[in-house]
Structure 1
Amino acid sequence: MRNDWGGQSFPHPPGRLPIVGDGRGIDPSRPLHSMVGHAARLGEPIFEIQVFDQKFVFVASAELAAEMCDEQRFGKSLSPALEALRDFAGDGLFTARTEEPNWRLAHDLLRPAFTRAAMQSYHPIMLETLAELFAYWERLDGPVDVSRDMTKLTLETLARAALSRDFASFEGTEPHPFIAAMVTALTSSQRVATLSGAPGSRLALRRIRKRQQVAQDYVDELLDDIIAARRAEPPSEHDLLGIMLSAKHPETGEQLDDTNIRHQILTFLVAGHETTSGALSFVLYYLSRHPEALAAAHAEADEVLGGDRDAEPTFEQVARFRHLRRVLDEALRLWPTAPAFSRSPRETLTLSTGHVMRPQDWAIVLLPSVHRDQGVWGEDAEEFDPDRFLPENSRGRMPHSYKPWGTGERSCIGRQFAQHESMLVLARLLHRYEITGDPDYQLDIAERLTIVPKGFELRLTPRTPSAGPATEPVDPEPGTEPVDAGGACPFSGAQRDGADAAR
């Protein structure tokens, strides 16, 4: 993963030192904030951070990010953090290299898991799990820890939909041990990536990997037991695990082996629940700080669901929460929970900046900076404004300027699941409760490979919705309707730039 770019240099923060390079300007507990701060101060489309003998090159402008999202010229590369995460997640969909056979095989086999018919089968699971969260909340006194409880919810939902497995997340206040193991793995990967080029780091890396191995052993045993138990049952493709165990590639007849199935399960559990819980938490934070947006969300939930606070949205109704969808999009614009992705060219080329980039070179697209590019988002790009995503305001926006789900064929295969779950959860929660945040709380973000608000609490008060029946269905806005991909993955490389901008 050496990234010398043929000796080319880029703008960098002042004060670079011998050996440590720019490391003194990085907060090890908040590296993302450090990079976003450097991007804002430098004001350059591309810049570098030198840490010991490793060069990290960051893309901070929407225009250059769009250039690197050209699938004909660029593809996904693995950053040092993802390379380190391979020790934990192997060649799962998120950490696999595109040229690895298991990536293509798993991607093709799992397409049926995200069609419209599959999403309809997950809908009642999402409703049931959410009802359990509400019952759990009503047993508690005082405010709720939002990120903790959104993590419980999304892990439990995904485990039930993917594995038909109950993790008993609502039986106590502590999260399932899988969460602790996952956090250890993610933070360890981040630290390994940072220290791998440091002189004399061998002992520290050995200690980090030893702690990671404990988490690895626990997770491997847990998932291997689940796989073995399902192998002993009659074949069924009613969930993701069933598909992976029994499906054969339609052209080659190939199947995934049990080790790769474990990697894929782990990838879905880690990447799938962590990003969605963070997105829900950021949405609730911003709604608690913006009374007009919150009032509009309450009104929309009442309009669709009517006067019964126990009403549950049907599958078709989820697409009608248009204001909530804009709120979600705006929260993910400001804080994309998967905040970066890396790109390399398919062959040597010259960037619009004049730099020559070879296939072995990589750059990290820094999404919080790209999503705040004032040339695209205006002078108020730092402000929360869901109306940015109204169709009339999105029309004509630069393609690829909004990428919270990644890009191209390596974009999030489970995006449809995450969006549907998020809309359902937010609509039911806001229909049922008034939410009140601590006015003294300052947004604090926990950084792993994903990001999530830390220490954010809400007080929930039972709410009486506006009386009256739900309105008649209307056609959803473009880009918000459930996708029927006809058996194909709706979020593969065939994404439309216009849909990206019009959300």
Structure 2
Amino acid sequence: MAETVTTTGETLPKGFRGAELGWPELHRIPHPPHRLPLLGDVLGASRNTPLQDSLRYARQLGPIFRRKAFGREFVFVWGAELAADMADESRFAKHVGLGIANLRPVVGDALFTAYNHEPNWQLAHDVLAPGFSREAMAAYHPMMLAVAERLTAHWDGELAAGRSVDVPGDMTKLTLETIARTGFGHDFGSFERTRPHPFVTAMVGTLTYAQRLNTIPHPRLLRRAARRNAADIAHLNRTVDDLVRKRRGGGGGDGDLLDRMLDTAHPETGERLSAQNVRRQVITFLVAGHETTSGALSFALHYLSLNPQVAARARAEVDRVWADAAVPGYDQVAKLRYVRRVLDEALRLWPTAPAFAREAREDTVLGGEHPMRRGGWALVLTAMLHRDPQVWGAHAERFDPDRFDTSAVRSRAPHTFKPFGTGARACIGRQFALHEATLVLGLLLRRYDLRPDPAYRLRVAERLTLMPEGLRLGLERRTAPVGSPEPAPRPDAPDRAAPGASVPHGTMSEPRCPVHRAGD
């Protein structure tokens, strides 16, 4: 496959630049009106919220559309049938481009950013996959509980002081400490800090810089930010190098992910991960292993606070399944089926990794209508795929966990729910993230009643991943006895309500998703 070199010096597969998209009949794909010469589709667009702008264009333009900015053109796909076509592994593969390629200076050919032809991806995947087996997950469970106890101790302190809690900030502390402890035996001391750990600051800086590179004509316009990004990358590298150095000097750990990276050979070839590869994988897991999970938890807590009947139903399930157990066991987490539905519904509305790119393995025709050359690529707009009314109904913007009832899931076509990507390159840690998030939601529901700020309206910040911005919740310690009966299922009103019907604030039948763009 022919390749091109970007201005950052990174080698990217053909198809990265607009002129090489690999769509012979690009003119047949609609684009926003009022396109400007040279600048492209910039009228009404925001530099800070490109994903949310794309959702708006998707509603206007249909299941496949294109956007152009500063000479680069991108094709977006979100219709369920087209997205399912692109999930066909025999015809399409992961494409590394846009913000993901911009992270290559940070983590190189790590699991998330490796090109399909790079051998280190398969090597690392095969070495690390056993670290996410059921046996490994059960071993992580006590450490997840220990970190969750630090969160509840912190929230108890905020409650005693009469303060609301910073949900995104505290979920970021929680998930960073969880992946650091379970994967690498490290403690960042996040809950003992009044400000984010410098590792988090550097991580957010690199993600934000990678996002900004997609919204400017040339990287030279970000010289000062580029220097800051280089300093952030150096801090990430130093942090991980120190972590690895201590592990090597300490004689090993307890068989966690870092031990696997340092000591495990490929089961067939005997090859081991190089020192550079270890560093890149550790940074990848520390960043991706906590950034997306913290967003998922934050969105779920936001919707639980707005929907007290959902929170009551989920809480009753926790009381019933965990009964009088002071500490839930590993197997008890998977039994929280309704809590898991709450999490899945939050991931449906706001998948914290909101898109993924796919490229054609050979010349093909997408959906029987759109020719694509080998290497041609498009972004599957997950956040809009999850809102496709042909799949999710006329009220797809509503929060309704019963969309993930077993019968509802079985009735839907495959490839319509993709919060962790698709195919061989889907997120290796998805079961880790789901177990952690379900456990934490169960613990928080059992301990607290959540009180929303009546003045808050959801604002979504974008830094490659998505996160609620400025979300704070009030807390009340529960007084209801453990083991209280589960309430009767809620009425089926939401999806059967008449379009435009008036609905009280905070119910599952809100007429539209109350989203304001970050920075507005």
Q: How does the TM-score come out when normalised to structure 2?
A: 0.87
Q: Give how far 1:242 is off.
A: 0.7
Amino acid at match of 2:274: D
Instruction: Output aligned runs, 1:414-429, within 5 Å.
Output: 414-429=429-444
Secondary structure of 2:255's match? coil
Q: Give how far 1:395 is off.
A: 1.7
Q: What is the aligned partner in structure 2 of residue 359 from structure 1? A: 374
Q: What is the aligned partner in structure 1 of residue 270 from structure 2? A: 253
Q: Give how far 1:202 is off.
A: 4.8
Deviation larger for 328-337 or 228-237: 228-237
Establish whether residue 341 from structure 1 lines up as the match of residue 356 from structure 2.
yes
Q: What is the aligned partner in structure 2 of residue 65 from structure 1? A: 83
Verify the 8 A CA contact 2:25 2:370 in the aligned structure 1.
Answer: no
Instruction: Output aligned runs, 1:302-341, within 5 Å.
Output: 302-306=319-323, 311-341=326-356
Establish whether residue 459 from structure 1 lines up as the match of residue 474 from structure 2.
yes
Amino acid at match of 1:293: V
Establish whether residue 177 from structure 1 lines up as the match of residue 195 from structure 2.
no
Amino acid at match of 1:390: D
Instruction: Output aligned runs, 1:392-471, within 5 Å.
Output: 392-468=407-483
Secondary structure of 1:262's match? helix
Verify the 8 A CA contact 1:137 1:144 in the aligned structure 2.
Answer: yes
Q: What is the aligned partner in structure 2 of residue 163 from structure 1? A: 184
Q: What is the aligned partner in structure 1 of residue 164 from structure 2? A: 143
Would the alpha carbon gap of residues 326 and 255 (structure 1) be closer, same or farther in structure 2, given more than 3 Å must change? Answer: same
Map Cα deviations across residues 149-192 of structure 1 (whole Å, 9 max, x no partner).
00000000110011100000110231111111001000101111
Instruction: Output aligned runs, 1:166-205, within 5 Å.
Output: 166-195=187-216, 198=217, 201-205=218-222
Deviation larger for 99-108 or 23-32: 23-32
Verify the 8 A CA contact 1:312 1:428 in the aligned structure 2.
Answer: no
Q: Structure 1 regions of 5+ residues with no counterpart?
A: 472-503
Distance in 2 of aligned mates of 1:41 and 1:441 = 28
Map Cα deviations across residues 416-456 of structure 1 (whole Å, 9 max, x no partner).
10010011100011001111011221000110110010111
Q: What is the aligned partner in structure 2 of residue 33 from structure 1? A: 52
Verify the 8 A CA contact 2:96 2:357 in the aligned structure 1.
Answer: yes
Residue correspondences, number: 464
Map Cα deviations across residues 28-87 of structure 1 (whole Å, 9 max, x no partner).
111111000000111x22100011111111002111000000111100001221111111
Q: Percent identity?
A: 51
Q: Give how far 1:108 is off.
A: 0.3
Verify the 8 A CA contact 2:452 2:474 in the aligned structure 1.
Answer: yes
Amino acid at match of 1:162: G
Secondary structure of 1:434's match? strand
Amino acid at match of 1:192: L
Q: Give how far 1:11 is off.
A: 0.2
Q: What is the aligned partner in structure 1 of residue 388 from structure 2? A: 373
Q: What is the aligned partner in structure 1 of residue 229 from structure 2? A: 212
Amino acid at match of 2:456: Y
Establish whether residue 106 from structure 1 lines up as the match of residue 127 from structure 2.
no
Amino acid at match of 1:255: R
Q: What is the aligned partner in structure 2 of residue 501 from structure 1? A: none
Q: What is the aligned partner in structure 2 of residue 489 from structure 1? A: none
Distance in 1 of aligned mates of 2:156 and 2:365 = 59
Distance in 2 of aligned mates of 1:379 and 1:120 = 40
Q: What is the aligned partner in structure 1 of residue 240 from structure 2? A: 223
Would the alpha carbon gap of residues 153 and 470 (structure 1) be closer, same or farther in structure 2, given more than 3 Å must change? Answer: farther
Verify the 8 A CA contact 1:73 1:347 in the aligned structure 2.
Answer: yes
Distance in 1 of aligned mates of 2:68 and 2:451 = 43
Secondary structure of 2:383's match? helix
Distance in 1 of aligned mates of 2:157 and 2:303 = 26
Secondary structure of 1:342's match? strand
Distance in 2 of aligned mates of 1:224 and 1:383 = 45
Q: What is the aligned partner in structure 1 of residue 405 from structure 2? A: 390
Verify the 8 A CA contact 1:3 1:361 in the aligned structure 2.
Answer: no
Distance in 1 of aligned mates of 2:484 and 2:396 = 38
Secondary structure of 1:23's match? coil
Verify the 8 A CA contact 1:282 1:453 in the aligned structure 2.
Answer: yes
Verify the 8 A CA contact 1:306 1:465 in the aligned structure 2.
Answer: no
Q: Structure 2 regions of 5+ residues with no counterpart?
A: 1-15, 487-520
Verify the 8 A CA contact 1:237 1:246 in the aligned structure 2.
Answer: no
Instruction: Output aligned runs, 1:271-286, within 5 Å.
Output: 271-286=288-303
Map Cα deviations across residues 78-108 of structure 1 (whole Å, 9 max, x no partner).
1221111111121111111121111000000
Q: Give how far 1:25 is off.
A: 3.2
